Amino acid sequence: MIPARNVCFPGWRREYAGFLMSMYYNHKGNKDAICVDAEAEITENSNDANQDGALMYFVQAKCGSLKCPPYEEKRLLTCVVCSI
């Protein structure tokens, strides 16, 4: 997974691209960011009922933590998952 990109390095194969997501910053628990496919599909027999799981939020750029430019304040960060 390569954060803040939407294309793979030369010679690598793109598996999917999407958005960097994580738990809300002040929720207890793991704050690891994951790449969520922009074209994710619902799985068979799933539903939208509350399962008491973690809620995912888009990761946004914050100038100072990231160099601006090239990043822009409060823009969603993309990601890409690649394989060799």
Domain ranges of the chain: 1-38+54-84
At 11-61, the pLDDT tens digits run 999 999 999 999 887 777 777 899 999 998 888 888 778 777 778 899 999
Angstrom distance (rounded) from CA 79 to CA 56: 15
Half-sphere exposure (CA, 13 Å, Cβ side) for 2?
A: 15
pTM as predicted: 0.79
